[in-house]
Amino acid sequence: MRRRSGDFTLRQLDTFVCAAHAGSFALAADRLGISQPAVSDHITTLERHLGHRLFDRRRGTTGVLTREGRDMLHRAETLLSTSRTMRPEGGRAPAEARQRMRLAIGNRARDIYLKPALPHIYQDLPHVELTILPTPLASEAAAALDKGEIDLLLCAVGHPPLDLPNMRLLDHLPLRLVAAPAMARRIATGELALDDLSFILPTVRGAGEAWLVRQLTRAGIRPRRPIRHLDFADVIQTMVEDGLGVSILMDERTAPAIAAGRLVPFGPALAPMRQIIARSPRAPRATEAVEQMLLRHGARSGLS
């Protein structure tokens, strides 16, 4: 195993010592109050820094200390003991208390921001217990953040409320009315009136859903048929391509299908949605770190 430059942390040493004494990564996770993957990640990172394995790990068996692992155990215990004596009043610093953080996040933001960041949140912030919530109604968002019912809100909205605490505008999200080519031709010739179209709209939950419907009214479209809402934008796009209805979808999703001739934009231009993030003033300390991870990994996707 190639040695990696850089320092290891006392947390990694403490995790290693706990796992060595417990004889099991699962037991070590229970004792430390973190997940088993987090224990494995700490030890793997330590092994990379040292340049050798500390445990012989075989599928279905308990890891056994290698010769290097036994040597490292004595050194790690000495380092941790020395570290404790250097702390004020000679006391052992308490383990970082677990913090429950409530994240209200929209469907698009889950894919763009949350999924890429999750492995890093659970590895780098093992004391954070992340609870995922649906986004609230626009009228309820400010109160939920002010009361601490939500610690962090990340979603697409029509017009961002200006009174949300610690709010940042992340992106503008252009929208299009789209239809299958055959249906778009019938719309263009007047054979199909806009009001008679069957609309299938994405479920933008809370802050954005009613705004999408209002976009139709502002464009002079008053659907005579009930508007259907579905959770999955990719399913909606497939249904539209198959001629089962029309929809309002984001440019970033429809651009390849339009270029390939599977979808055609029609009708008046629509105002863009906006991606926002807002943080409660009552949020636990770790919320800011989670926020930065979400934004960093969203930026890497090229879509934030």
* Residue 82 pLDDT: 65
The per-residue pLDDT for 83 is 62
Query: How many structural domains is the chain composed of?
Result: 3
165 with 286, same domain: the answer is yes
Looking at residue 148, which CATH number applies to its domain? 3.40.190.10
- Does 211 share its domain with 249? yes
Dist CA 224 CA 278 (whole Å) = 37
Residue 3 placed within a domain: no
Shared domain for 179 and 260, answered yes or no, is yes
The reply to whether 160 falls in a domain is yes
* Residue 285 in domain: yes
Predicted local distance difference test score (pLDDT) of residue 93:
43
What CATH number is attached to the domain comprising 60? 1.10.10.10
Is the pLDDT at 87 greater than 90? The verdict is no
Model confidence pLDDT, tens digit, residues 196-220? 999 999 876 555 557 788 888 888 9
Together in a domain, 75 and 151 = no
- Same domain? For 76 and 193 the reply is no
Mean pLDDT of 9-28: 84
Using N-to-C axis directions, what is the helix angle for 36-50 and 25-32, rounded to 10°? 110
User: Domain check: are 165 and 281 in the same one?
Assistant: yes
Nearest of 172, 165, 208 to residue 303 by alpha carbon: 172
DSSP state for residue 195 in the 8-state scheme = G
Nearest-CA neighbor of 114 among 85, 99, 97, 135? Answer: 135
Q: How confident is the model at residue 187 (pLDDT cuts 50, 70, 90)?
A: very high
Q: Which residue has the tokens 């409530």?
A: 102
The range of the structural domain enclosing residue 185 comes to 175-271
Assign 257 a pLDDT band (cuts: 50, 70, 90).
Answer: very high
Q: Are residues 179 and 265 in the same domain?
A: yes
Percent of the chain with pLDDT over 90: 35
Regarding whether 237 and 280 lie in a shared domain, the answer is no
Alpha-carbon distance 144 to 207, whole Å? 13
Instruction: Taking residues 254-269, report their average pLDDT.
Output: 95
**What's the gap between Cα 1 and its chain centre?**
33
- Please tell me whether residues 159 and 232 are part of one structural domain: no
Q: Which two tokens stand for residue 22?
A: 């417990």
Q: Examine the domain organization and report whether 143 and 197 are in the same domain.
A: no
**pLDDT in the model for residue 140:** 86
pLDDT at 64: 85
